[in-house]
Structure formats: structure tokens, C-alpha cells
Chain A
Amino acid sequence: MRLVTSWLREFVDVKASADDIAATLGLRGFEVASIEPDINHNGDGDAVIDFEITANRPDCLSVLGLAREVATAYDLPIMLPSADAGAKSRLATLPAGTSEWLKVTLEDEDLCPRYAAAIAEVTIGSSPAWMAARLQAAGVRPISTLVDITNYVNLEIGQPMHAFDLAKLAGAEIRVRRAKPGETITTLDGVHRKLEPDMLVIADRDRAQAIAGVMGGAASEVSAETTLVAFESAYFTPASVRRTSKRLGLKTEASSRFERGADPGAQALAIQRAVALMEQITTGRPLGPIVDCAARQAEPKRVHLRRARLALLLGVAVPDADVERILRSLGLEVTRTADGWDAIAPTFRVDLLREVDLIEEAGRHYGFDKLTATFPVMTQPAPAPDARIPRDQTVRRVLTAAGLSEAVTFGFIEAKASELFVATTPVPAIAVANPLSGKFDTLRPSLLPGLVDAVAHNRRHGRRDVRLFEIGARFAPDGETRGVAIAWTGGGSAEHWSAATREVDFFDAKGVAEQLCGVLDVPVRFKPLREPFLVAGLAASIVAAQATSRTVADGPEPGAVIGLVGQLAPAVADARGLPRQDPVFVAELNLDRLERARVAASDATRPLPRHPFVIRDLSIVVPDALPAEIIRGTIHAAGRETAAPLTATSFFDRYQGKGVPPGAVSLSVRLTFQALDRTLTDAEIQQSVDTILAALVREHGAQQR
């Protein structure tokens, strides 16, 4: 709302400068977008302050509305529009009654509870300079005396008006009704529009002449030849105007005011003001009374305000005198009662509906700066946070300690990227119904597309080693899950002068996944995986292992997939702008599922063994297609029967080549034996190693080297 200060001063005799007024209202709920000083370039001090008016204050889309705020802020009287001869905002004295010139019928009282009209005889010309300048300063283009008067009244008191050329209204009649099926209208902007039966129109005897509260029709537009006009000043219900405006895609000055809520009691006032202006600039004179059709009188809202509630909510006791002064100055009628006040809110304050609304008014003008900073009393200890929060912090710690940096990408991606990552058993991606850009038209089903793009960005900027991770939401038709993904390209070890740098490989990425699952106490297994977006043979799914101790009640079944790890298919890398030859290893885990698979580990520590352990290394030759996990299983099964307890197994070498037949591999296994209650004898150890070797020979045809 562009407020012209000279216009404002017609309603409140404020001496303060425009800057001061802007700063003062700025602290009372009216944000200042800009100030234009000295708009007349003559040093008269006239200025424009452009205020941003919040959605709850349609009354302040007018000079009068803002004048009330200024008057309250500066504790000055407001000079309301009046019929007094000396009034600056003068009203014409015009009775209400029926007109011999125009018949008005209110056919839809729900969408239009009040419709006022008046006829005038006019000679249309150009507005005087002062009026044109004022409109221009307020941001409205002057057109002709009649149109300018309706705009002037709208800006001054906030009531949108319309003027019809009476000669063009068939039957000299106005019907406020809903559009008929198939009815059309050509609006003032020259567009031919189809109306729908729930849209309110202003019609003459034969057809729609305006879309109520939105825009007038071209057929009855006021022109230079017009000699008789019908002024319209009506109240249309906000929801109806809003629906119509939205459906037609037609937003106007009038529609935005009606949508937010005009004053349901200002219809006659606006006509009185328009007629007075008409007389003042000698462009016409009224013919007959105001035809004022009211389905019901606007009922002012009665609200009770308790002194104690005011003090409780604000945390400060506002003196009674201040409360009364503020509310009265804002236009409320206030009567003191035993515990506070009975107040009647004026019809233009559509936002004042309940006690708390009055508390805000009192607080706002009393000044939030008078609040002492206090701290809310705690009556109970704070409960534990959402379990995901410490869990995610742990995940973040593990991954940053592994040298990965955290990325944040968007929850939506482009469909093209999403399609590249579609799994063999596809989960339908969810599209955004109204995306602003094709780059953000699909909710991400996985964190990988976004993360791979982030890797590509870094590669494009010359970065060779990129290790990133992200924790975030993924979306599927049956719900939202939280996941963590990693992407790793470049060196598997840090560059150092002491040795050649090793390239990242599958086991780097797998190691990170294992570390994460280990820290979160989730036993997992890795199974070969074929997915179109991963390199076959270099990909695995991560599944929940048979738990070794009690798991959470609703934990995933053993074998349930928790995530995946593998090398990104070169075609996918290429499609996302990564160099095709760059191996990029990725992994993604479902953190929600991981959370439920956590094994409730005991907090109690294990005693340290008092007897020494013994290590025996075993080198065997086995078929190279035999998974290490199966060999480990055989060793463990055999180890359960041995005299010396087997406490650990590790693979420390894997060799193919000279001395090993083709299709076979030499594996070196380190076996650790230890008993809690005694020192193991050589005989026990030897017998145990023999038992394990025998099992390997029996099960896998292993040969000792």
C-alpha cells in the first residue's frame, strides 16, 4: 500500500516526518518496503511510504485504515470522513430509498449480503491535477473523472467501487445473481470469458455485465459519451471472490481486497464520498437516493477482554488507561467491566474475532519493547530426543571419521536422473504435481542420484578424490524412509610421498558399510547383486544376518535387504556428467530398517582372558569361485567341536598364480585359539587345527599348501 503522506494528514494531524512515521508503523506491524521522499520535487515534504500489508489487515489497504494506526501510535485524534462543511474528507448527504432510475434485485444474499447503488448525471472529462497526482503517487493511473473517483474512494476508505454506463444496462436494472450455465462475458480487459454457475455476476435484465468483485464488463463500460452512471458499492464474500478469481486466473485490485475481506459496513459511506468528490470536481450530480440493498446488517463483533488474561499472555501488565486508549483509537467501543472490558469491534476490522486478537492490539501498540525477557518455568525434566537424532549423529561421526564429507541435496530430482537408478524390482517414483522446474519434478526414491550429481560437480571442478555422504529422506508410494548414502571416487588411500596411491575399490566402500553396521550393532551379510545401475560382479546387497542375540521385536527378518554397495555403472556415470573411466563406488542403507535390526547388546564388559592365546596360520588351495563366507562358515562349524576353543578367524592373504592351479586360489587363514580357564597345550592345538583342516578337505576339497 503506497501511502501518500499529504493524503494521510487529511485524516490525522501528525507533524512527524515520513521517515519517522515509517519507522513508527514499522514497529507496529507494517513493514516498510520503501520510502520516496519529496514526491513533488518542491520540498513540501510530501512523500510516499510503501507499506507491506499483512493478510489479516485488509482495512489498512486504505489511507483511512493506516491513518487510524498513525493516530493510535502518535496518540492523536482521527478525523473521519464527514458531512461537515469543513471536513477534508467530505461526504455528500444522500438519503437511502428506491430509485426511479434503477431497480436493484439481490438474488444471492449468501455471496453478496449488501449491494448499494446510486445514479448520477455526469459530464466525463479529465480529473484535476491534484487528484491525478495523488492517484499517480499511490500507483494508480488516472483515466477519467468517473473512473478516477471510484479509484480514489477505494484508496481512501478501502471500498472497491464500480461505475456502469446506465444507458447500457438493459431494463435499467441490476440483478445480483449467479452465472447461468454457459453464460459468457467480455471483461474490461477485452477477454471473452466463460462463467460457471457458482460465480457471482452483476447482470442487467438480460445478461451479465460484471463479474462480481473481480472485473466489470466491456459492454457497460463508462466512456467519454456516458451521461448517466450507476455507482456500485457492494460487499462480496471473500471465499466467493477468491474462488472466482482463482478459477478465471484473473486477479485485480478489487478482487484482492474482497478476498481478504472488505468492510461490510462501508457501502453507503463510499457512495457518499464518491458523490461529494463528483461535486467537488464538478463532473456530475446525484439523481435520487442511494439504493441500499442489505440482506442483513453487518453485525459488529462483541469481544470480552480480561485484564488477567492480557497480563498472562503478554507477560506484562498493560495499564488500563493504555488498553482503553489503544482500543478506542483503533475504532473499538470499550466499556470497563469488573475483570476487564467489553469491546465492540468495528466492521472494518475483520480480523478482530476473539479475546486474543484484542490482546495483540493492546500489546502491539503498547510496545513489545516493554516486555521484560523472562524464562518459562520448567515443571518437568525434558524427555529423551527422537531416537533418530543421536543415531544420525553417530552415523555422521563414523562417516566423517572415514574421510567422507557431508552433502545436502534436494528432496526432489529430475525424472531423468531418477530413471537411471531404477532397480530390477522397481519402486514407482512420485512425481511433483506442480513443479516449477523440470530439474525438481520427482521425489527422490534414493539418495544416490543427488549424491552422484554432487560427485560430478566436484569432478568437473578438477577434484580427483571425492568422498561424500548424505543422510536424508527418500520417498516411495508406501512411505517416507530415512537413508544414508556414500559415494567415493579417486584414491582409496590418501596421496603420500612414501608410496603410490591405491585407487578406490569395492572393499573400500564395503568397509565403510561394514563399519557403519558394526557401530550400530547390526549383524549383516553381503550377497552378490545385479542391478542395472551397478557394475555386475562388483555389487552386493546388504542383508540382515541371522541375529546372534535377541533383536528388537519388529526388527526385519534375517535376510531382509538393508542396503546395497557397488560400483556405479559407467553408462550411469556418463549420463550424469562423470568421466566414464572413473570408477565411482556407492552404497546406500535404509537407516529406519537398520535401526530396527540393531542387536540389543549387553552393556556389561567381558573379563579380560588370563590365559594366553595361540595363533596358527593355515594355507589352503580351494576353487576360486567358493565364497570366503562359506569357508569361514565351515571353519566356524568345525571350530565348535575342537578341543581348543577357536576365538577368531581372519583371511590374511589371497593368492593366485605360480604354484596354484588355474581356477583355484590359495587362501591364508589365521586361526586364534584361546581358553578362559587354562593354558592350551600343543597337542590340543594341533588336534584342533587338524580337525578344521579335515573339515575343509571334506567340504571343499581343500589342499594344504
Chain B
Amino acid sequence: MSTPQPSPESVAALVAQFETELAQARTARDAQSVRDRYLGRKNSVVASWMQLVASAPVDEKKNIGRYANELKQAVEARWTRYSESAPDAAPAGAVDVTLPGRVPALGHRHPLTVVRDRLEEIFVRMGFTVVEGPEAEDEWHCFDALNMPADHPARDMQDTLYLATPITYSDNDRRTLLRTHTSSMQIRHLQAHQPPIRIVVPGRVYRRDDLDLTHSPAFGQIEGLAVGEGVSLADLKGTLLAFAQQMFSPTSRIRFRPSFFPYTEPSAEIDLSCWQCDGAGCAMCKKTGWIELGGCGMVHPAVFEAVGYDAERYTGFAWGIGIERVAILRYQVEDIRLFYENDLRFLEQFPY
């Protein structure tokens, strides 16, 4: 085969010729021999150009070398593309395997369910049992038994939605409001069981709040309660620390910031070390290094007394976390309303 002198034109012509010959190849063996004629170590087009480089005058070496390399790279690239895509002679009945398959339809769990499932799973591993309670409640379970008697200022802390007509299960079981927290289920469970108790209560709660970027009149909460002999605030810290490290980051830390809730004493806000900056301060934690997660504390003796427990013998801890809050943090959701619009473009971003 006569080989033209290296030049930009001859590079282009040889590459085109290579492609033509390759396209005409009937079998893999034919294609391989085309390749060898261009790229083989001996007597090939590229090899002969390389020899020209060696024998060329000094002032032409550089140019010839460049053309030889260009030719080599261009031919190699086309060979790679050809060998990846070219099938052996297509067998009868062959399909285009690159056409889309029939993907079975698969729905997605709601992000609030994904978070709830994850929370439940973590606490179940710690020996907690998942229970659920009613959303329509009575005043006693929602407030009085939780150390919030009528006329108590704390009752104003949560704006309650009342029912125009009660939901009546029996003459002495009338539900007059929508629960403002899952804590009402603590009371129902304590009444129906004996210590030791270790439960988590996920569920929807309601507040007299407008729907905007950060507020919702209905949202999910998960509540934890452990009652037994010798249960302490340090145990609560250990439990929440284990939860935080499994839910957020293995290096998560927990901080208790004293606070007030009528149904716990001592009470604290649960702060979680920011997992984006590990406490150094960033936009997510508003430069504080900490993220507020929820409230917790030791069950107030008045709550035990309301349900007829021996408040001297038993102690307990309780905590409550907003499910939306966790989801907002975890998935960096800017607008709480996205959770309730049920836009499939949003829902489909979450796991099956």
C-alpha cells in the first residue's frame, strides 16, 4: 500500500478511508485486519509515518511527528467506537437493545412516611414499641392529664382547634378537639398498661395555625416515652444520642437546653450538632453549630398521678420531634407546603 506524505489533508483522507473500509468489513476478522493495516506495529500506515519521523530532517521532525500522532489518535478513537458498538452480524430476530424496556410502574412512599419509617426502625431497635392513637381527642387526655388544667397559661401555648359537635363513642367518651400533640396518647397508653413501658407514638397533630412557608395547621409528630424504675435524664440523653447518630451522622452530638413543658420536669430542648459543619457553624445551623430538633424531659409526677401511677416508684422520660422538621432538615426542603401538595415531581424524588 502506498502511503501519502504526512499533511493535514492526508490525515483527513486516511481517517475517512479507514472508516469506509471498516464499514465494509463483513466479519470481526475483516474488521481486525483493516485495523491492523492502519494501526499494526509493523508495516501499517501509522507505523510507516512513525518511521518517517525518525528519518526526517530536523526542521521537519516536529510537524511530521504531530501529523503522525493525530492520525494515530483519530484512527484509534474510531476503532474504539466501532468495536464497542458494532455487533457481530446481527442474529435473526435481534432487537435494538438500546430501546427502553417496559419498566413496571412503581410508586413512592411519601417523604413523611420515609422519615417516620426510619425513626420507627431506629427506636424499635432500642426496644421501643410503636403505638398509635386517635387524632380527635378530649380535653382531659390532651391537657388536664398532662398537667395543663383549665385556666393554666400553658394551655394558651398551643392554639387548639375544637370540634363544633363532639365525636361520640359513648356517653362518657366524647372527643371535642383535634389533638395538639401526640402526648395525649402517652396518657391513653399509661392508663392501659403497667411499667416497664417503652413506646414511640407517631401521628398527625393539629394547631390553629396558618399554612405558610414554615407553618402548617397539621403536621406529623413522633413521641417517645419510657417509664420504669430508675429511668433518668442521662438515659434520655443516651437514647436520643443513639437515635441522632443513626438518623443523622455517626459523629452527631446532643445538647439539652433547659426549657419548660408542663408535662415534663426537668424539661429541655433537644439540640443536635449540625451534621453539615459538625458544629463549626454554617448556613444550615445559622452559624450556631446546633439545630433544634424538639422537646424532651422527665415525665412530670403530676402526669403519673393523673393516671394513678406511683410517682415515687416510677420515673420516666418523654420526647417529641416533628416529622416534617426532620424531613426538612434531611432533605433540605425549603417550603413545608411541598409535603401536602403531593406533586408527583416532588414525591418521585423519594424512595420506593
Contacts and interface: CB of A to CB of B under 8 A. Distances in A.
B153 A55 contact: yes
B102 A371 contact: no
A242 B155 CA distance: 12
A670 B238 CA distance: 63
Nearest to B253: A373
B34 to A, nearest CB: 35
A25 to B, nearest CB: 10
Of residues A28, A400, A466, which shows the largest number of chain B Cβ atoms within 10 Å of its Cβ? Answer: A400
Interface string B172-190: 0001001000000000000
Interface residues of A, number: 95
B283 interface: no
Contacts of A383: 129
Nearest to A468: B342
A389 B203 CA distance: 11
B12 to A, nearest CB: 38
Contacts of B198: 376, 378, 382
B343 A457 contact: yes
Interface stretch (B15-23, B70-78, B160-168): B160-168
A401 B268 CA distance: 42
A359 B102 CA distance: 65
Contacts of A406: 107-110, 113, 347
Contacts of A412: 161, 178, 206, 217-218
A431 B164 contact: yes
Given A408-B340, A440-B217, A432 B164 contact: yes
Interface stretch (A148-156, A361-369, A609-617, A650-658): A361-369
A58 B113 CA distance: 40
Given A458-B343, A478-B168, A371 B109 contact: no
B167 A430 contact: yes
Interface in A367-413: 368-369, 371-386, 388-389, 393, 396, 399-412
A345 B336 CA distance: 45
A498 interface: yes
A480 B132 CA distance: 13
Contact of B234 (A259, A316, A457): A316
B334 interface: no
B104 to A, nearest CB: 7
Given A403-B106, A407-B342, A463-B344, A54 B260 contact: yes
Contact of A400 (B108, B342, B344): B108
B342 A454 contact: yes
Given A368-B256, A373-B237, A405-B347, A385 B218 contact: no
A476 interface: yes
B112 interface: yes
Contacts of A313: 232-233, 266, 298, 315
Interface in A419-466: 428, 430-437, 440, 443, 454, 457-458, 461, 463, 466
Interface string B119-143: 0100010111111101110000000
A687 B80 CA distance: 69
A156 to B, nearest CB: 23
A312 B130 CA distance: 27
B347 A371 contact: no
Given A389-B130, A435-B161, A401 B106 contact: yes
A581 B104 CA distance: 27
Contacts of A570: none
Contact of B100 (A27, A354, A399, A497): A497
B255 A373 contact: no
A243 B155 CA distance: 13
A371 B348 contact: no
Contact of A357 (B135, B164, B238, B265): B265
B213 interface: no
B164 A461 contact: no
A364 B154 contact: no
A388 B268 CA distance: 32
B265 A360 contact: yes
A461 B266 contact: no
B335 interface: no
Nearest to A453: B342
Contact of B151 (A239, A393, A494): A239
Interface stretch (B45-53, B81-89, B223-231): B223-231
Nearest to A440: B217
Given A55-B154, A242-B153, A359-B266, A461 B345 contact: yes
Given A373-B238, A376-B235, A411-B204, A55 B341 contact: no
Contacts of B235: 315, 374-376
B103 interface: yes
Nearest to A410: B218
Contacts of B265: 356-357, 359-360
B114 to A, nearest CB: 9
Given A368-B256, A386-B130, A400 B106 contact: yes
A409 B136 contact: no
A260 interface: yes
A401 B107 contact: yes
Interface string A167-193: 000000000000000000000000000
A369 to B, nearest CB: 7
Contacts of B35: none
Contacts of B342: 405, 407-409, 454, 457-458, 468
B329 interface: no
Interface string A458-490: 100101001111001101111110000000000
A698 interface: no
A434 B207 CA distance: 11
Nearest to B300: A356
A315 B234 CA distance: 5
Given A55-B154, A411-B135, A478 B169 contact: yes
A384 B124 CA distance: 10
A437 B136 CA distance: 19
B296 to A, nearest CB: 11
A410 B324 CA distance: 14
Contacts of B258: 27-29, 360, 363-364, 368
A45 to B, nearest CB: 22
B167 A376 contact: no
B112 to A, nearest CB: 6
B256 A405 contact: no
Given A356-B300, A374-B234, A477-B165, A494 B105 contact: yes
A468 B231 CA distance: 44
Given A405-B347, A406-B108, A56 B260 contact: yes
B339 interface: yes
A354 B196 contact: no
A26 to B, nearest CB: 7
B232 A382 contact: no
B145 interface: no
Contacts of B163: 430-433, 443
Contact of B228 (A376, A389, A432): A376
Of residues A56, A316, A354, which shows the largest number of chain B Cβ atoms within 10 Å of its Cβ? Answer: A56
Contacts of A371: 233-234, 237, 256
B257 interface: yes
A550 interface: no
A284 to B, nearest CB: 36
A26 B256 CA distance: 11
Instruction: Kindly list the 8 A-B residue pairs having the minimum CB-CB distance in the complex, ordered from nearest.
Output: A403-B105, A315-B234, A315-B232, A54-B260, A29-B258, A400-B107, A373-B238, A368-B256
Interface of A: 26-29, 31, 54-57, 238-239, 242-243, 259-260, 312-316, 354, 356-357, 359-360, 363-364, 368-369, 371-386, 388-389, 393, 396, 399-412, 428, 430-437, 440, 443, 454, 457-458, 461, 463, 466-469, 472-473, 475-480, 494, 496-498
7 contacts: A315-B237, A359-B266, A389-B130, A403-B105, A403-B107, A404-B107, A432-B164
Given A412-B161, A436-B208, 7 more contacts: A29-B259, A243-B151, A380-B196, A406-B347, A408-B110, A409-B342, A461-B343
